[in-house]
Amino acid sequence: QVQFVESGGGLVQPGDSLRLSCAASGFAFRSSPLNWVRQAPGKGLEWVSRISSGGSFTTYADSVKGRFTISRDNAKNTLYLQMNSLKPEDPATYYCAEATDCSGDVCNRTPNWGRGTQVTVSS
């Protein structure tokens, strides 16, 4: 079955960087557009970024544009999110999701989602 395992989160200071990874299996990774989605404590899901199957096309939420970069390695079935200039409003649990889990910037959690990786930004 579809499986996502996110990693790379941690506690950082404002302005620091982190690189998140998502190892995926159980589906045709190379032909699947993918998303990063986050959920801050007490808040709903927020779509962060999307990447095409080949990696050529990317889109970002306005809140992260210019700071975050989504990428993928289809040979390793792995999705990445490079996060630079982290801000106090970025803390959340970050998830990777299939393209069908999000319609535009509205995403719905499915049983395929992983546990996510937690990002904390604190000085």
- Mean pLDDT for the chain overall: 95
Given a cut of 90, whether residue 122 has pLDDT beyond it is no
Q: What is the pLDDT of residues 37-56, one digit of tens each?
A: 999 999 999 999 999 999 99
When pLDDT is cut at 50, 70 and 90, the band that residue 123 belongs to is: confident
Structural Rg of the chain based on CA atoms: 13
When pLDDT is cut at 50, 70 and 90, the band that residue 63 belongs to is: very high
Given a cut of 90, whether residue 113 has pLDDT beyond it is yes
The percent of residues in the chain predicted with pLDDT above 90, rounded, is: 93
